[in-house]
Amino acid sequence: MQKKIILEARVNEYAPRTSNPNIPYTADEIVEAAVAARKAGAAILHYHARTADGGATNTVEANAEIIREVRQATDLLILPTLGFISNDADAMKRIDTVATLALDPATKPDIAPIDTGSANLELWDAETRRFENPERLYLNTTESLAHYARTLAEKGVKPKLVSWSVGFTRRAIALMDAGLVRGPAYFLLHLTGGRYITGHPPTEAGLMAHLAFLPDDRPIEWTVNCLGGNLLNIAPAICRLGGHMAIGIGDYPYREFCTPTNAEVISRAVEIAQKVGREPATPQEARAILELDGA
């Protein structure tokens, strides 16, 4: 029997409603999206706290409200964002909100992401041949990464090692070798499409380039998302190769299907997985696969 596939619903990120009107902003909207995604087959909720008008916020209070309400409504595993784009030493503080949330069992996240390198987050306009936001940087010093890993280990929160490219993967493995991340490691292979050019492209070749550098001598579970591109195009390959999927309208609006909800996109991912004999994992099954606290 094929192993279960873990589906992570990436419900909003920092995407605007101009891309898809179903992007949830408020806590109530995130809860509604989470419940529907769970029914469709998701096991993990990844969200970004937003203001009522869609702005970015990452306060303890905003996240605590979302987590409490989601847990009252569903059994999804909780995976908030770690923080914001940063060009300075404040990157070290990016873990603080998750660390505070973890002090209370009612708001403790199950998983938190660590992007294992720094990334340029400019946008490339192929038509005008110009860069937008060429100064924008997501800074993650190695010192910061070690601090994040130690903090999550102390709090009992599973790190998700987010790899934008092979160099990120090598650094994540180094964190494992340094004893900062215990197995099974949970990797997110972060593909990028469209105007996002920092990352492997959302093709089977781009995926295989990632997988070529995942070691086979230690326990690793890997999932895949795509910022700015349709992940469903390579979903059959992901499923055949034993990976999991992290998908939602926060990463890409999926206008090929008009203006779908997160649940509708998750349902399409489930259909693809089932065609190769893989059923969606429940949150409790995902907890066991990833060996989270309480498994």
212: in domain: yes
pLDDT at 2: 72
pLDDT of residue 43: 98
Other Cβ atoms within 10 Å of 257 Cβ, number: 14
Give the closest residue to 131 by CA, choosing from 85, 86, 196, 191: 196
CATH at 79: 3.20.20.70
Q: Could you read off the pLDDT tens digit of each residue along the chain, which spans 295 residues?
A: 578 999 999 999 999 999 999 999 999 999 999 999 999 999 999 999 999 999 999 999 999 999 999 999 999 999 999 876 544 557 788 999 999 999 999 999 999 999 999 999 999 999 999 999 999 888 899 999 999 999 999 999 999 999 999 999 999 999 999 999 999 999 999 999 999 999 999 999 999 999 999 999 999 999 999 999 999 999 999 999 999 999 999 999 999 999 999 999 999 999 999 999 999 999 999 999 999 986 6
Regarding pTM above 0.85, the answer is: yes
CB 152 within 8 A of CB 159: yes
Within-domain flag for 286? yes
Q: What is the largest CA-CA distance in the chain?
A: 52
| 2 in any annotated domain | no
Is 289 within 8 Å of 4 (Cβ atoms)?
yes
pLDDT of residue 90: 72
192: in domain: yes
In a domain, 256, yes or no: yes
**CB neighbour class for 220 (10 Å; exposed up to 12, middle 13-18, buried from 19):** middle
What gap in Å lies between CA 175 and CA 139, rounded to an integer? 17
CA 291 to chain centre: 18
Domain extent for 229: 7-290
CA neighbor of 246 nearest in space, from 178, 191, 174:
191
Are 141 and 185 in contact by the 8 Å Cβ rule? The answer is no
Cα→Cα distances 125→47, 90, 129, 134, Å: 27, 30, 5, 12
Q: Pairing relation of β-strands 220-227 and 185-192?
A: parallel
Q: Is 1 within a domain?
A: no
Residue 295 resides in a domain: no
SS3 39: helix
Share of the chain above pLDDT 70, in %: 97
CA Rg value for the chain: 18
For position 54, what pLDDT does the model report?
95
Q: How many domains is the chain built from?
A: 1
* CB proximity list for 216: less than 8 A, separation 6 or greater: none
Q: Please give the distance of CA 82 from its chain centroid, rounded to a whole number.
A: 10
Gap between the Cα atoms of 16 and 29, Å rounded: 14
Alpha helices for the chain (secondary structure H): 27-40, 60-73, 96-101, 142-155, 166-177, 204-211, 235-240, 262-275, 283-290
Encode pLDDT of 38-53 as tens digits.
999 999 999 999 999 9
Domain presence at residue 55:
yes
Give the three-state DSSP class for 152: helix
